[in-house]
Structure 1
Amino acid sequence: MMPVYLTHVDTGRNMARFYTMRVQPTLFGECAVVREWGRIGKGGQVRETQHTTPQEAQAFAAQILRQKVRKGYKIM
């Protein structure tokens, strides 16, 4: 999976959020899904989840992507 950059902007609610996600290998032969989110133009929070196989990491990332798109995020 290529790195994904999502945004959700709603000027009426003063909302300008971003969400990034990427799958990358770890030093121990596993895969990690690294996610970062926050307000556009500001530093965000980062969370990394470990997965034993690349397929498991891809499935997890795809699930998160579907959830974000359902909530109104747009893929940039």
Structure 2
Amino acid sequence: MSPRKLLRIDPSRNMSRFYEIDVQPSLFGDVSVMRHWGRIGQSGQSREYWFEDETGAQKASNSILGQKRRRGYQDIPLS
């Protein structure tokens, strides 16, 4: 899976946020889901989750992406 970046911008609520997620294999056969989020223009926060296989990591990643889209985040293309 390639990295995904989502944005949520709502000027009426003074909201401009970003959310990034990526699934990456480790050297030991595990797979991690890397999450990074925060306000646009700030460094934000990061969190990493580890899974035994890529199937579990992909499932978790898709679930998180679905939650964010329901909350109003929109995908942006990474170039």
Band of TM-score, shorter chain: over 0.9
Alignment root-mean-square deviation, CA: 0.6
TM-score by length of 1: 0.97
Aligned to 2:42, what secondary structure does the other structure show? coil
Deviation at 1:28, TM superposition (A): 1.6
Q: State the shift of 1:2 in Å.
A: 1.2
Within 1, Cα distance between the matches of 2:27 and 2:47? 17
Query: How many pairs align?
Result: 76
Alignment TM-score, normalising by the size of structure 2: 0.94
Which structure 1 segments of 5+ residues have no match?
Answer: none
Per the alignment, residue 57 of structure 2 pairs with 57
**Corresponding position of 1:69:** 69
CA distance in structure 1 between the partners assigned to 2:30 and 2:23 by the alignment: 11
Q: 1:1-76 to 2 correspondence within 5 Å?
A: 1-76=1-76
Q: Which runs of at least 4 in structure 1 moved beyond 6 Å after TM superposition?
A: none
Q: Supply the AA of the counterpart residue of 2:19.
A: Y
